[in-house]
Structure 1
Amino acid sequence: MKSLIFKKKNLIAFAMAAVVAVSGFGVYQSQAAEKIDENKQCTITVKVPDTCSLDDKPADSSIVNGISLYDGTLEVDFYKLADVELNGEIGISLAGVDLSDLSKSDVTAEDIKATANEAYKVVKDSAPNYKVEINPSKELSKTVNGDKGVDRGIYLYVVKDFQNKQYQYSFDKYIVMVPYSTTISQGTKVDEHGNIVDVESSDDWVYDTEIALKCKATEIYGNLKITKELKTYNESLGTTPFVFEVEAFYGEGDNKEIVYSNVFSMDFSEPGSREITVEKIPANSTVTVTEVYSGASYKLTSDKTKTTTIVENETSTVEFVNDYDDQTDIGTISIENHFNENGYVDSNINPNSTTTENVETEN
């Protein structure tokens, strides 16, 4: 099987489908040395990328193994837009989709994308001609329709979005031609960055087409609200702070992956309730909130550690309650933040100090 024109580079896997990405489909006509062999089986093999570009990040940003860790179903639907005639011409549109831009001699990758997006508007409510389902944690490629192959044609392929941990994965809709010939592309291709480059033109028909899916990952977050109720307050002791350590993680035990860690404080100068909202904690993570300092002369009347789950675009809440313990200790605290090699925060707390340093405080 011949490999796809588009290859992986610099840890970013982009998907463009074979040489059709910059070809003028209609300009080919019967220029090839031989016509398509109507008795040869055509195949399309879908390859899953092991890296994805990160949305709203620098162009060279990517995540590795994001999809390959997904133990679920990745679905790719194929809609046939037109036949491919034996001389290489595009047949009449089967779905009422305007394919005229594909016949331009100067068609670009962006033209192909635009046609794909318009085609999807037409066919999205209809059943696909073919469907392939892949579990990326077990297989990184799969042939559409197995040993039976596919009919000659121009196909729109659409990958359904999915979520995995803290990322939403989305994919470009695109168009693939099977079989194809580099003569159709007039000796051009699109590289992994979408740039047009020259290749050696060939009259040979390629009946086994491979497509690599172009993936974009968007980080998804939720928020955490920490609420604190102080039932009684001794004015003679002055303002008192309460300090909370927040840690978010995936997995357990040896598989535990910390994705967020920080400390926060609240100052009380009277009884009542206060709250802190911590924004942008990775979604679907487990969060533990521990009250690591309860203020001089105050005691917890609720659990010291609370656990919750962060839900995308929602705010999860944990609640703590304190009360005066009839003691007369005076003083606030000092917190020194230490960042480890992964950028997470550890806290060293000195309850005998009279200053509060490096603490995020809600007033």
Structure 2
Amino acid sequence: MKKAVFKSKGLIGIILGALLIIGCLQITGLKAAGRINPNTPITITAKIAENDQSIFAQEFDGKLQIRLYKIADIGETGKATIEAGFEDIDLGILDQNPSPEDIIDNIVAVAEPIAKDMEDYTTIEINREDGESEKTVTMPEGAGIYLYVPQPAADRRYTYTFTSYILYAPTSTYIMTGQGSDQWQYDVEFTIKSEAEQAYGDLAITKTLDTFNKSLGKASFVYKVTATLDNEVVLNNVYSIDFDKAGSKTRTIKDLPASAVVTVEEIYTGASYEAVGNEIVSGLVIKPGDTVTANFENDYNGNLISGGISAENQFTVDENGNLIWTDKDGNPKEQLHMEPAETFR
């Protein structure tokens, strides 16, 4: 095994000093303490800060899982012995007054890919559905350097990622605050740091044409799609589906924001085809990474009027590429934007 020997107080001060820099605190000096008892169980608490105003802290109502890996064992004199599998980590960076970024680049970034394929870890699970803001586990193997890796999470609207980092256990009041007792405390904790990103899903418009009259040529069907999120319109667009024979076709609109509420209205069917069932599908909710479907069905009604848009002359395109929906006399009803389906992010 690769071994590294540190003065115990120097090592602890560097690691926890880096952690506390993130929390806007600074360690300026340490005083000597007694030996570490390497056989004393360590309790580790993962918590969400009470004043955390992040989207994750305020809105996530699922389960967050955090994996704990012991990457080094700490003896009573502060000697660190790298655990099997993590031999590529060089703890020497901890003797160089590292910044949090240094620790992330030189320890976390090396350890995390290794840990990803390991089955030997302890899981902390915080159940936000039950209102939990913290959870504690006991590590019977005692003192050491631990890597904690919160697992990505998602809800109805967002995907969440988290900062992985290391912690040194045990600690002391003096190390954490710069004053007070230097007696070793075998109960340690860390705070979750999260980032939220809007998730996206897809909408599929599926049209079934029961009967097609070849003599009328191409049959075009037009759908107006409106999506709202937080009472704001995030999409107001039209899409067409063309047929040259009976059957079913699907038009997929990609990357709509998750939790958006969608209404799909069939606004044009041609004079020779009529709706069978719904002409409006409303209340569809976009789900992260999933596809919701609006189904429509039409059939030939016996008329001999061509079903193409140009023949009906109910849609014209202006100089900006916008589709103008007109009545039978050519008077504009509404301007509908024809942007590509890939431009919703």
TM-score (norm 1): 0.60
Please tell me the residue identity of whatever aligns with 1:242: V
| Match of residue 44 from structure 1 | 44
Q: For residues 47 and 105 of structure 1, what CA distance do their matches in structure 2 show?
A: 29
1:152 has 2:143 as partner: yes
Superposed CA deviations along residues 184-240 of structure 1, whole A, max 9, x for unmatched, are 79xxxxxxxxxxxxx96788357343311122333332332335558349979x997
* Deviation of the 1:359 alpha carbon: 3.4
**Alpha-carbon contact 2:126-2:135 (below 8 Å) kept:** no
**Normalized per residue, which structure has more helix?**
2
**Runs of 5+ in structure 2 lacking a partner?**
1-14, 22-26, 306-310, 317-324, 341-345
1:320 has 2:296 as partner: yes
1:121/1:326 CA distance change after superposition, 3 Å:
closer
Q: 1:127 aligns with which of 91, 95, 120?
A: 120
Superposed CA deviations along residues 79-117 of structure 1, whole A, max 9, x for unmatched, are 222233445x34212335224244332322123223123
| Match of residue 314 from structure 2 | 332
1:235-246 paired onto structure 2 within 5 Å: 242-246=222-226
- Residue 35 of structure 1 aligns to a residue in which SS? coil
* Deviation of the 1:154 alpha carbon: 1.0
| Match of residue 157 from structure 2 | 166
**Alpha-carbon contact 1:286-1:310 (below 8 Å) kept:** yes
| Match of residue 253 from structure 2 | 278
Q: 1:84 aligns with which of 64, 70, 74?
A: 74
Q: 2:275 aligns with which of 300, 308, 318?
A: 300
1:153/1:270 CA distance change after superposition, 3 Å:
closer
- Residue 225 of structure 1 aligns to a residue in which SS? strand
| Match of residue 34 from structure 2 | 35
* Deviation of the 1:75 alpha carbon: 1.4
Please tell me the residue identity of whatever aligns with 2:17: V
- Residue 137 of structure 1 aligns to a residue in which SS? helix
Q: Which stretch has the larger CA shift, 301-310 or 263-272?
A: 263-272
* Deviation of the 1:291 alpha carbon: 1.7
Q: Which stretch has the larger CA shift, 153-162 or 106-115?
A: 106-115
Q: For residues 259 and 96 of structure 2, what CA distance do their matches in structure 1 show?
A: 48
1:138 has 2:130 as partner: yes
Superposed CA deviations along residues 103-145 of structure 1, whole A, max 9, x for unmatched, are 33232212322312322333441321x3321101323432422
1:105/1:203 CA distance change after superposition, 3 Å:
farther
Q: 2:108 aligns with which of 110, 116, 122?
A: 116
1:212-361 paired onto structure 2 within 5 Å: 212-228=191-207, 229=209, 231-232=212-213, 242-247=222-227, 261-266=235-240, 276-283=251-258, 287-295=262-270, 298-306=273-281, 317-322=293-298, 323=300, 326=303, 332=314, 351=327, 354=330, 355=332, 357-360=335-338
Q: For residues 280 and 132 of structure 1, what CA distance do their matches in structure 2 show?
A: 33
1:209 has 2:188 as partner: yes
CA RMSD across the alignment: 4.9
**Alpha-carbon contact 1:132-1:142 (below 8 Å) kept:** no
Higher relative contact order (CA 8 A, sep 6+): 1
**Alpha-carbon contact 1:293-1:351 (below 8 Å) kept:** no
- Residue 171 of structure 2 aligns to a residue in which SS? coil
Q: Sequence identity of aligned pairs in percent?
A: 23
Q: Which of these two proteins has the greater Rg computed from alpha carbons? A: 2
- Residue 45 of structure 1 aligns to a residue in which SS? strand
- Residue 336 of structure 2 aligns to a residue in which SS? coil
Please tell me the residue identity of whatever aligns with 2:47: K
Q: For residues 51 and 325 of structure 1, what CA distance do their matches in structure 2 show?
A: 67
TM-score (norm 2): 0.63
- Residue 111 of structure 1 aligns to a residue in which SS? helix
Q: For residues 232 and 218 of structure 1, what CA distance do their matches in structure 2 show?
A: 48
**Alpha-carbon contact 1:68-1:137 (below 8 Å) kept:** no
Superposed CA deviations along residues 57-81 of structure 1, whole A, max 9, x for unmatched, are xxxxxx9544554443321121222
**Runs of 5+ in structure 1 lacking a partner?**
1-16, 53-62, 186-198, 250-255, 335-348
Q: For residues 81 and 241 of structure 2, what CA distance do their matches in structure 1 show?
A: 72
**Alpha-carbon contact 1:259-1:282 (below 8 Å) kept:** no
Report how many residues are paired. 296
